[in-house]
Structure 1
Amino acid sequence: MTESELKEEVIKAIKSVYDPEIPVDVWELGLIYDLKIFPVNNVYVEMTLTSPSCPSAGTIPAEIEQKIREVEGVNDVSVELTWDPPYSQDMMSEEAKLELGFL
C-alpha cells in the first residue's frame, strides 16, 4: 500500500469516530489539525476537542488511536491533543455546517 493509500484509509478510520454530543465525525468537525504518515507506516495525529472541558476528552483521542491501529499496514500511532489554536466553528467542513444547520 502506498503512503497516499494508507493516508486515505487512516482518514476513513478517523471519519468513523463521532463526538458523542454532535452527530458529525471528528474529521468533518475540523478537530484534526495534522495527520502525518512517517516511514514504516507510523501515524501521527495532532488534534483538538471542541472545548477543554469536553466530557469526551479522555475517550475521543483514545478511540481515534484505536481505529487507526485497526487499519491494515499501520505500524504505530501517536495522537497528540492540543489547544492551540483554540477550536472554532470555522474549522468545520461545509458538510458538517450543513448537517448542523449552520448553512
Structure 2
Amino acid sequence: MNEVTLRDKIEDVLRTVHDPEIPVNIFELGLVYGIEIGNNNSVQIIMTLTAPACPVAGDIIFEVESKVRAVEGVGDVHVHLTFDPPWNKEMMSEEAKLELGWL
C-alpha cells in the first residue's frame, strides 16, 4: 500500500485553492514557493501572489491557512507571503500552461 505523506496531503489541499483571476490552482501556478514541516507537524508555507496589489490577497491566504489547518495530522500553520522572487508565468507547471493555452 502506498503511504500518503503529510506533505502529499498538504499539496493536495493546496490544489483546491484557486487564484480568482486565473482559473488554475495556486500550486500549479507556482505560487507556493515552499512547504516546511517542523516539530509537532507545524507547517510553514512560503508563497507569493500573481501581483503585489492582488485585491483578494487576504482571502487567498486565509483559504490556504484554513484548508491546511484542516488536514489531519497538521499542527500549527503559518503562511508567509513573499514577493522575492516576484512571480512570473515561467513558474507555472506545464499542466497549468496547457490549461491556459500558454504553450
**TM-score category of the 2 structures, normalised to the smaller one:** over 0.9
Listed as ranges, the gaps of 5+ residues in structure 2 are none
* Correspondences of 1:1-103 after superposition (within 5 Å): 5-103=5-103
3-state SS in 2 of match to 1:87: coil
AA at the equivalent of 2:7: K
AA at the equivalent of 1:13: V
Listed as ranges, the gaps of 5+ residues in structure 1 are none
**CA–CA separation in structure 2 for the residues paired with 1:57 and 1:75:** 23
Once the two structures are TM-superposed, the CA of residue 39 in structure 1 deviates from its matched residue by 1.8
Superposition RMSD in Å: 0.9
Once the two structures are TM-superposed, the CA of residue 62 in structure 1 deviates from its matched residue by 0.9
Once the two structures are TM-superposed, the CA of residue 32 in structure 1 deviates from its matched residue by 0.4
Identity of aligned residues (%): 54
Once the two structures are TM-superposed, the CA of residue 55 in structure 1 deviates from its matched residue by 1.3
Once the two structures are TM-superposed, the CA of residue 96 in structure 1 deviates from its matched residue by 0.4
**CA–CA separation in structure 2 for the residues paired with 1:61 and 1:89:** 20
Cα shift readout 1:64-93 (whole Å, capped 9, x = no counterpart): 000001100111100000010011000000
Aligned length: 100
AA at the equivalent of 2:83: W
Question: Which TM-score applies when normalising by structure 2?
Answer: 0.94
Q: Which runs of 4+ in 1 moved over 2 A?
A: none
**CA–CA separation in structure 1 for the residues paired with 2:101 and 2:56:** 23
Once the two structures are TM-superposed, the CA of residue 56 in structure 1 deviates from its matched residue by 1.3
